[in-house]
């Protein structure tokens, strides 16, 4: 019986180890993949490690992560230890009260703590960045140190310090030579917890940072919005760093045991491993924080602040722009136009924004953009005619196109009949033949566009009756078709053929089709959304001259080619689009890459605040209906 229990325990432990470590092994293997796919290994390559090392954003985020973790650990360990020792000498009622206060931040949901810190910094008008992130990390690490140290202090003989001072020790000597060595295991465990919590934190860091300062968690979150194998490379590097730290912590005491007397080991065995780990991590921070050489380039020493969609830039464009101009590019990322708008409306300063068409219209109306100086631009004649002079900015006075495309249907050719698509258009999302085999995109604008076009209405309608009909169309869809409502997960899921069809952006469909030849892209004749994301300069930009320089660089052939070939979205540069879609191009034969022109039913979104609010409210109800149906 005991043998069977041991066998069962061994098997269970093996399964747990596999569950935890198999994804890490998978990640490490795919960090050496030559292709962009996260699921299909196409050959060994160090491409993504090279990209990681050349990426200013990733290297800075790695440096920020470990530098903040080291400083926060050191400060919180000292403050937490002193606080715990001082608290042990207080009255019992004070001790109990402070223990409850100490436990509150650990029991609080992180999002509540994060918002609290954010409001504190906003209230006192503290500019968010490295310092605010560091202060927040120190604050939330201190309770963990105190929690680790307090039990050790309680287990001490309360007369130890008095006895040491009776023998002639000063209070400081009694503290450092008697008390601290006795509670060292608690201090070390508290420091390790603090370090782990700091390295691991995302939510609090996300709310308290600004000015382009990002730790690794924020960077990986941003990168994960789209397919980016560099995630595997930088994550593997972190695994290696942590593994080295753990080896140092565990091996150092063994090495010391052979060299030091046993009496000395008892005092030092806890300190040296931590010191070695600190030295190792500090060395890594120094390596990644490589100083730039002096430059006589035209914009040397200047900084360009760009606010763009996550994973919307090529592999080399930022580095090459920095090399050409001598400027530093600080890239921040947003998840939605609305998130970007809130920051701009609150007065945060950027030099370049890349919003979508309808949001550009809103920003122009509300005076948040400045007109472009066309005498400083040499890119207008390089742009595709179909993407200039669009209704939101007819004379391109405020904007220069960055990417453009459409919203259509990605489908598995082995599961979906093309005749069904041609006959039904967007109504195929209500065809019972494909029940349980469809993806809807979690975007109120695009989902209502699909429903309105299926019903033969304009996607810019202000008619409440037509919007109500579209709402009912969507409710019927989610209640009868068992769809999965997703965002960017659709990209890799459709590349793997997990469902029959889904609503998707053309650029994402381009990637899906390049990864899986069984995938197709269809645009219903009833019309669709022809969207455009463009570069604009905010009214409060601090460096508009450098912003114009970046617009030229990103619109020129080399910059536009790097962007479009890496991201997969249609370039606004006509030559780049022709090259990538032409013979021998990356996207040869992929119809999703070249946006449709000439269909009178295709439209560009227009901004209307009342309609936006109504659609947002109705979409929330659609998602509730979907939840109830499932």
Handedness of CA 210, 215, 218, 219 (dihedral sign): positive
- Of 52-61, 363-372, 388-397, 486-495, least confident by mean pLDDT is 52-61
Closest CA to 303 of 136, 129, 72, 521: 129
Spatial distance between the Cα atoms of 399 and 206, rounded to a whole number of angstroms:
29
pLDDT at 10: 82
pLDDT at 89: 81
Spatial distance between the Cα atoms of 40 and 317, rounded to a whole number of angstroms:
27
pLDDT at 308: 95
Q: How confident is the model at residue 239 (pLDDT cuts 50, 70, 90)?
A: confident
Work out the angle at residue 260's Cα, subtended by the Cα atoms of residues 254 and 264, and round it to the nearest 5 degrees: 105
Please give the share of the chain, as a percent, with pLDDT higher than 70. 91
Spatial distance between the Cα atoms of 90 and 96, rounded to a whole number of angstroms:
10
- Of 50-54, 400-404, 555-559, least confident by mean pLDDT is 50-54
Determine the length of the chain. Answer: 630
Indicate if the pLDDT at residue 370 is higher than 80. Answer: yes
> Please, is 567 exposed, middle or buried when counting C-beta atoms within 10 Å of its C-beta (0-12, 13-18, 19+)?
buried
Q: How confident is the model at residue 416 (pLDDT cuts 50, 70, 90)?
A: very high
pLDDT at 517: 93
Give the residue-averaged pLDDT of 511-532: 95
Handedness of CA 615, 621, 623, 629 (dihedral sign): negative
Q: What mean pLDDT, rounded, does the chain reach?
A: 89
pLDDT at 265: 47
Largest CA distance in the chain: 96
Characterize the bridge pairing of strands 484-486 and 328-334. unpaired
Q: Please, what is the end-to-end C-alpha distance for the chain in angstroms? A: 45
Closest CA to 523 of 428, 448, 436: 428
Spatial distance between the Cα atoms of 254 and 544, rounded to a whole number of angstroms:
59
b/e sequence 482-506, b meaning 16+ C-beta within 10 Å: ebbbbebebbbbbbeeebbbbbbbb
138 Cβ contact list (under 8 Å, min separation 6): 71, 72, 75, 76, 79
Where do we find the tokens 């009342």?
A: 610
Q: How many CA atoms lie within 13 A of 432 on its CB side?
A: 1
Q: Please list the residues that pair with 403 across neighbouring strands.
A: 533, 571
pLDDT at 3: 65
* Other Cβ atoms closer than 10 A to 22: 10
Give the residue-averaged pLDDT of 543-567: 96
Q: Tell me if 444 sits within 8 A of 615, measured CB to CB.
A: yes
Q: How confident is the model at residue 14 (pLDDT cuts 50, 70, 90)?
A: confident
pLDDT at 307: 95
> Please, is 404 exposed, middle or buried when counting C-beta atoms within 10 Å of its C-beta (0-12, 13-18, 19+)?
buried
Spatial distance between the Cα atoms of 177 and 25, rounded to a whole number of angstroms:
45
pLDDT at 279: 58
- Of 120-124, 372-376, 619-623, least confident by mean pLDDT is 120-124
Q: How confident is the model at residue 210 (pLDDT cuts 50, 70, 90)?
A: confident
Spatial distance between the Cα atoms of 476 and 483, rounded to a whole number of angstroms:
11
DSSP alpha helix (H) spans, 481-608: 489-495, 506-515, 544-555, 557-567, 574-581
Indicate if the pLDDT at residue 292 is higher than 50. Answer: no
Beta strands in 372-515 (DSSP E): 399-412, 438-441, 484-486, 501-505
pLDDT at 163: 84
């Amino acid at each position: 019986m005991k043998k069977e229990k041991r066998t069962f325990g061994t098997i269970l432990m093996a399964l747990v180890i596999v569950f935890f470590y198999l994804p890490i092994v998978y990640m490490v293997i795919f960090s050496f993949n030559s292709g962009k796919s996260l699921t299909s290994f196409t050959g060994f390559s160090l491409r993504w490690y090279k990209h990681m090392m050349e990426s200013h954003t990733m290297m800075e985020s790695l440096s920020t992560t470990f530098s903040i973790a080291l400083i926060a650990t050191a400060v919180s360990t000292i403050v937490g230890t002193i606080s715990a020792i001082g608290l042990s000498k207080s009255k019992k009622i004070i001790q109990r009260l402070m223990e409850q206060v100490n436990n509150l931040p650990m029991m609080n949901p992180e999002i509540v703590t994060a918002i609290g810190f954010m409001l504190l910094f906003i209230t006192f008008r503290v500019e968010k960045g490295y310092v605010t992130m560091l202060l927040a990390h120190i604050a939330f690490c201190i309770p963990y140190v105190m929690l680790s140290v307090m039990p050790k202090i309680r287990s001490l003989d309360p007369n130890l310090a008095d006895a040491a001072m009776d023998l002639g020790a000063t209070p400081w000597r009694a503290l450092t030579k008697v008390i601290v060595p006795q509670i060292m295991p608690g201090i070390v465990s508290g420091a390790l917890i603090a370090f782990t919590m700091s390295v691991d934190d995302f939510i609090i860091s996300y709310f308290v940072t600004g000015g382009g300062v990002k730790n690794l968690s924020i960077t990986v979150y941003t990168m994960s919005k789209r397919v980016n194998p560099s995630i595997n490379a930088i994550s593997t590097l972190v695994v290696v760093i942590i593994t080295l730290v753990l080896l140092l912590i565990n091996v150092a005491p063994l090495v010391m045991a052979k060299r030091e007397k046993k009496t000395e080991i008892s005092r030092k065995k806890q300190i040296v491993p931590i010191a070695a780990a600190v030295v190792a991590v500090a060395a890594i921070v120094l390596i990644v924080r490589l100083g730039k050489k002096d430059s006589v380039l035209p914009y040397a020493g200047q900084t360009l602040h760009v606010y763009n969609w996550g994973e919307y830039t090529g592999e080399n464009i930022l580095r090459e722009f920095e090399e050409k101009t001598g400027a530093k590019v600080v890239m921040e990322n947003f998840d939605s136009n609305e998130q970007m708008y809130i920051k701009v409306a609150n007065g945060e300063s950027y030099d370049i924004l890349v919003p979508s068409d309808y949001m550009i219209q809103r920003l122009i109306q509300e005076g948040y953009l400045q007109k472009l100086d066309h005498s400083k631009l040499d890119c207008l004649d390089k742009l595709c005619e179909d993407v200039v002079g669009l209704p939101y900015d007819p004379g391109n006075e405020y904007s220069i196109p960055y990417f453009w495309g459409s919203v259509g249907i990605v489908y598995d050719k082995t599961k979906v009949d093309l005749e069904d698509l041609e006959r039904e258009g967007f109504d195929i999302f209500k065809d019972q033949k494909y029940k349980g085999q469809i993806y809807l995109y979690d975007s109120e604008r695009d989902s209502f566009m699909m429903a309105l076009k299926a019903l033969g209405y304009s996607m810019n309608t202000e008619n409440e009756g037509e919007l109500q009909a579209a709402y009912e169309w969507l409710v019927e869809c989610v209640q009868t078709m068992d769809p999965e409502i997703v965002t960017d997960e659709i990209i890799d899921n459709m590349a793997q053929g997990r469902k029959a069809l889904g609503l998707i952006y053309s650029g994402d469909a381009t990637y899906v089709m390049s990864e899986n030849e069984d995938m197709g892209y269809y645009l219903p004749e009833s019309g669709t959304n022809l969207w455009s994301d463009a570069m604009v300069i905010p009214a409060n930009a601090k460096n508009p001259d450098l912003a114009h320089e970046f617009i030229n660089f990103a619109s020129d052939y080399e910059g536009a080619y790097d962007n479009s070939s890496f991201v997969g979205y249609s370039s606004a540069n006509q030559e780049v689009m022709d090259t990538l879609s032409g013979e021998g191009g990356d996207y040869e034969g992929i119809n999703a890459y070249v946006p449709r022109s000439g269909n009178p039913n295709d439209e560009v979104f227009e901004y209307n605040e009342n309609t936006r609010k109504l659609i947002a409210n109705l979409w929330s109800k659609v998602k509730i209906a979907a939840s109830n149906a499932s």
